[in-house]
Structure 1
């Protein structure tokens, strides 16, 4: 017999725990009195086969322990795909090639050192970022802190660019 098998199949701890849980649900719903609930739980602990447990649920509506549920039938497999039509060749786009990397003639080291040593936006004037440079000049470089942090970022940062979007050379 299958998983839903006969009443002569022996049960294990999992089936007993499921049966006790479901009996607790029936007790909570008011279908069982406390003494009858205790008797059925005692019977669950001594049950040996599925038939022993099935008798405890004969006069109760759903829910039932999972082993008492009817077997689930599998859906039929989908029909096979038709064979491909020969003769047509699929067209694929050419592989993506990233654009070539263009480096700036300006140095990342020079920009970072200028930014740190002359804390008035000198490094940003050097790279052509005039908006940031003027803001740093007007705020005295954020009292030097903004220029110091910006200089460290210029030195350590990976993809630092000039005003035209070219990578600063190392």
Structure 2
């Protein structure tokens, strides 16, 4: 049962086979009587094995589902002594444009929103609570200006991984 030629075909596969036979007929490769015979066999076909003889003497194109599958690529270990590259994936720190967006959010919405955006939840919560009393608004405005002018300390001091060559 592992042979793909003995898999049953459906209407979609029959229609594709009929279309390809029609293309070969239009190109003049099949006379009318032979075309009619092949079409009737394609309509009655139940498996790929039933369709394969209809295209055996015709050049490509053949129906796509009849193509033999390409062999799966095999993993080949590197030759001994060859360097092996190991990729590390880490959380990437927001870049400059995120810092600018965070600074603008701090100024435009002075409730610690920019700090929430940058991932500094502890400072953002303190700014939000103090903003409710009124004092935190000034802190947020000053913090936003500082974020825009000199950038911020990156979240938890994470750095992007070094490039591996």
Structure that is richer in helix per residue: 2
Return the index of the structure with the highest Cα Rg: 1
TM-score (norm: length of structure 2):
0.46
Structure that is richer in strand per residue: 1
